[in-house]
Amino acid sequence: MSSPIIQLQPVEQHQDLIITTPASGLSLQGTIKIPGDKSISHRSLMLGAISEGETIIHGLLLGEDPRSTASCFQAMGVEISELNSDRVTVKGNGLGNLLEPTEVLNAGNSGTTLRLMLGLLASHPDRFFTVTGDHSLCSRPMSRVVKPLQEMGAQIWGRKTNTLAPLAIQGQALKPIHYHSPIASAQVKSCILLAGLMTEGLTKVTEPALSRDHSERMLQAFGAKIDVDPATNSVSIMGHPTLKGQTVIVPGDISSAAFWMIAAAIVPDSNLLIENVGINPTRTGILEVMQAMGADITLENERIVTGEPVADLRVKHSHLKACTIEGDLIPRLIDEIPIIAVAATFAQGTTIIKDAAELRVKESDRLAVMASALNKMGANVTELPDGLEIIGGTGLTGTEVDSYTDHRIAMSLAIAALNAKHSTIIHRAEAAGISYPTFVSTLKQVCGE
Ligand SMILES: O=C(O)C1=C[C@@H](OP(=O)(O)O)[C@@H](O)[C@H](O)C1
Ligand SMILES: C=C(OP(=O)(O)O)C(=O)O
């Protein structure tokens, strides 16, 4: 069997990714390692920064988003050394000791950096901060974190009546609240919990469905007094704990593994072993969807690594069937919906994705962008106000598509291209580096190039 031709071509300040599948077809084989979990990487840098003593991080994701977090905390006096190594050291300033930066903090493309950090900044008395991000981040809603922080007494100013970055924050002592979040968002929950660290008394968050719980796990490991009530999806935190630096081993990101899981499932004769994947139950919606679609996927070597469950995943090609994805499942696979949409174009029947309006306020409007790109490739996708309806089995044909500078879109379209006829050109594909800097080299590896 021959290999596809995978090429990167510079176009002005961007890169096109060109994927040409051979007429004889292709199969994906081998054992792959995926980069560190992005959510856990951000949190290990942040908690390390506000703890006493050293935090050692193994397997930190070296993508652009965690780099944005590292540079913001460095600008607030936190020493982070050997950032490009497998043993990153964060010398913590201790709780309440972030320095007032002389420059504007830049969260780049990262919603997690900006929203989580806001909880820490707003609760730092007598410090003034300004924060911004790239074009995409400056158009994403910040009211979801500004509003609860204001209820705690925070002073935050920004564009469009304090709802958009750039933001300015006058830190001060906050008062504890019980916040009933209207959305299941780990960024909202984590922002409030981080603000609660510096707040006298008990701060509580209740969410409508369970979102990823990496903050709760890691805060507990660093010494915070956290109480989780699974019956009501509530978490409370007691203010002013002593946080002590820890060793964190970051597992591979299931959101990055998802691209290879779907690739192996849709490309005939494929068989991939994906090693060291985080399988925290708040993140495994993708596994449940693949099982419901009839994918051939097995978990091997299940273990716990510094408080997070991990396994190796073996995925083989199979004939997929459509399914419905909705409700409480959505927060457990929120970042995987673009790649699930690709799988659905190869599944027998009509896949419905509902309750996913959140996708419209990610790095791009992921519902609109995926519907239009897949339709351009020959799929039958209808955009719903809060999801997608995908009639599978149409087959795909390569054409020119655009990432809209959204990393998940760039990578989802690259996987679609592996099972499309002829050549696909993905514009602005360098966006993959936000969460997956080695994506193209692994793409070449699994294709045998
Ligand atoms: O807390 C986190 O690390 C994240 C939470 C999710 O966002 P929301 O909290 O907005 O759902 C997810 O989409 C994002 O990629 C990472
Ligand atoms: C939405 C994402 O990240 P963030 O909100 O941190 O920008 C993502 O990684 O898909």
Summarised one tens digit per residue, pLDDT across range 138-152 is: 999 999 999 999 999
Residue 332 among known ligand-binding residues: no
Which of 166, 78, 158, 174 shows the shortest CA–CA distance to 122? 174
Kindly report, residue by residue over 378-399, the tens digit of the pLDDT.
999 999 999 999 999 999 999 9
Kindly report, residue by residue over 122-137, the tens digit of the pLDDT.
999 999 999 999 999 9
Q: Which CATH superfamily is domain 38-249 in?
A: Enolpyruvate transferase domain (3.65.10.10)
> Ligand 1 centroid vs 115 CA: distance in angstroms?
10
Q: Which residues line ligand 2 (CB under 6 A)?
A: 38, 65, 110-112, 335, 362-363, 408, 435
Residue among 37, 41, 106, 112 to mutate when testing ligand 2 (max atoms within 8 A of CB):
112
Kindly report, residue by residue over 148-168, the tens digit of the pLDDT.
999 999 999 999 999 999 999
Note whether 125 and 171 are within 8 A (CB): yes
Assess whether 335 carries a catalytic annotation. Answer: yes
pLDDT for residue 136: 98
Kindly report, residue by residue over 267-302, the tens digit of the pLDDT.
999 999 999 999 999 999 999 999 999 999 999 999
Instruction: Please give the average per-residue pLDDT across 91-115, as a whole number.
Output: 98
Kindly report, residue by residue over 75-95, the tens digit of the pLDDT.
999 999 999 999 999 999 999
> Ligand 2 centroid vs 200 CA: distance in angstroms?
31
Residue 159 among known ligand-binding residues: no
Residue among 64, 110, 286, 330 to mutate when testing ligand 2 (max atoms within 8 A of CB):
110
Kindly report, residue by residue over 318-362, the tens digit of the pLDDT.
999 999 999 999 999 999 999 999 999 999 999 999 999 999 999
Note whether 193 and 203 are within 8 A (CB): yes
How high is the mean pLDDT of the chain? Answer: 97
Q: Which CATH superfamily is domain 5-36+252-446 in?
A: Enolpyruvate transferase domain (3.65.10.10)
Q: Ligand 1: which residue has its CA nearest to atom 10?
A: 185
Annotated domain spans of the chain: 5-36+252-446, 38-249
What is the number of the ligand closest to the CA of 434?
Answer: 2
Q: State the DSSP code for 85.
A: S
Q: How confident is the model at residue 3 (pLDDT cuts 50, 70, 90)?
A: low
pLDDT for residue 2: 57
> Ligand 1 centroid vs 189 CA: distance in angstroms?
10
What is the spatial distance between Cα 1 and Cα 297, in angstroms, rounded to a whole number? 24
Distances (CA, A) of 45 to 99, 187, 329, 344, 433: 16, 15, 28, 36, 19
Instruction: Please give the average per-residue pLDDT across 38-54, as a whole number.
Output: 98
Q: How confident is the model at residue 24 (pLDDT cuts 50, 70, 90)?
A: confident
Interface ipTM? 0.99
Q: DSSP per residue over 176-193, as a string?
A: --EEE-SS--HHHHHHHH
pLDDT for residue 4: 67
Note whether 131 and 105 are within 8 A (CB): yes
Whether residue 36 has pLDDT greater than 80: yes
Kindly report, residue by residue over 198-233, the tens digit of the pLDDT.
999 999 999 999 999 999 999 999 999 999 999 999
Q: Which of 65, 335, 402, 406 is catalytic?
A: 335
> Ligand 2 centroid vs 283 CA: distance in angstroms?
14
